[in-house]
A and B are shown apart, each in its own frame.
Chain A
């Protein structure tokens, strides 16, 4: 199947990228095959498509994709694929079922009936799932041809959130309309309403990904309590913790009324601990609005933030004396400390990208996090969190807020011709440069002594002699290309500092 299927996909993709007709000759060339094969491929695609032809042809012009049909075709294709689960998907779906019903046992035959697999596969699946669940301190129990997941409610919810992939890809704005996600539509509407209720009650907005996190929490709460209305939440909140929550009046009130609304929607009472649970999610979320200021930071938050900034500064060798990163980071650290304490994990969907793009910063952050968690006696700081923190430092480095300007000499033959012009142009576009002087190239030696701390020479003329200072030849036009090269040079200099 491989190459042929591949060719069909390639052909469709190629046509989908072209607005206009494409000749059979061009298609043959693209696929490195004969025109005859192209005709055959197109006939096959059109024969297999559900309704009319997917690819339309016109004499003398060639072939074109019927775009609307193509999109439908892709959708139906996907649906077909969905019935065909990979082993990994199969196990995830089974775990989902078990987690939502936990601690209720479910018959093995019933669980696996949709997947047409044999005993040995089931046995192997059990082992793999059991391993997976260990990460969440949960146990997969087999008893009389049934399976059940046992463990603390906190851990069960955590596992649900991470195993069910749907929670990692949701986009709050997209939820109402996205059919593919398979959420219960009514639940979605009710929860979105609750999110608004929370935001209004606290007079704040909850940014991504925290809004998704709270959404998931509430959605799981609904699913759990419906699947297993009698589940007993054995964990108890200590008196002390309840007291301190009640002191935080605004958050407590909002959590309480939200849970109350959920009870009404479910038409079922929820245990008192749900209020505390939601409360923890709220204080662990970053809020934008009235609360976003330094005045509300505890000394612990300030200390942890400072530790990050100091340690990072020595590790990546930069000088951070900027107040804005402190405020930004501290407002992230504050809810993070709460998340750590209450074992709430915010999935960082950008994590793999962050790791690749900011490899160096990420590994430094990881190191610092280990140091910080030891120093401040915190639970281990996971990679999702490290990823978020990385972004704060990456942003700072990229906008080079921390850097001193680069001392720059500008040079041409006379020192008043193209160099003055260049100075005016460069000054506007590159605030990173501090232009110390504009000089004539023949006085090079004298200036080298006069400005011994010069970091960059920008010249419109070629410099013959060997100079130990970074030097960039640009045209007096200061074209886009010149600007790009200068940008690169600036980055190099910043990097070497």
Chain B
């Protein structure tokens, strides 16, 4: 984990299932809060998936929600130690980028996050995020943070 910034990187993450991933994210989202709020977040992620697949490229997921349970907007990166099977249709996932958006977030923050998601349209960038080793991976992310 890298400090308390809005971007958090989990390199070589050993999470293995969707449930574990969402559970973990919900912990980060509402650190000292009640179980109910965590459940709310997990529920929202699952609902979002019913509406549309979070798969944005081969091996890459982008689950994202906007929620009143989220205290602080965040982007979480999970570079998985081992590729995981997400559900019946999605497998071989190596990178998960989760976006947590606080309800009624300020425009500036929204723009910052939007700028980041736009950068994911660049296949080269996604490729680098998938394959770079830890130091360089962080650099790619930091580079983005400075730009925005």
Contact = CB atoms under 8 A, between A and B. Distances in A.
Asked if A and B bind, the verdict is yes
Interface of A: 412-418, 420-421, 423-425, 428, 438, 440-441, 459-462, 473, 475-477
Interface in B40-99: 48, 50-57, 62, 64-66, 99
Nearest to A459: B52
B113 interface: yes
Nearest to B58: A477
A428 B121 contact: yes
Contacts of A423: 118
A418 B64 contact: yes
B62 A417 contact: yes
B110 interface: yes
B66 A420 contact: no
B101 interface: yes
B75 to A, nearest CB: 10
Nearest to A418: B62
Contacts of A475: 52-53, 55
Chain A interface helix/strand/loop/mixed: mixed
A476 B52 contact: yes
B43 to A, nearest CB: 13
A421 B48 CA distance: 16
B144 to A, nearest CB: 14
A476 B65 CA distance: 15
B120 interface: yes
Contacts of A412: 52, 64
Contact of A416 (B51, B55, B99): B99
A416 B120 CA distance: 12
Nearest to A464: B51
B148 to A, nearest CB: 13
B1 interface: no
A100 B90 CA distance: 74
B53 A417 contact: no
20 contacts: A412-B64, A413-B64, A417-B101, A417-B117, A418-B52, A418-B117, A420-B117, A423-B118, A424-B117, A424-B119, A424-B120, A424-B121, A425-B121, A428-B121, A438-B114, A460-B52, A462-B52, A473-B52, A475-B55, A477-B55
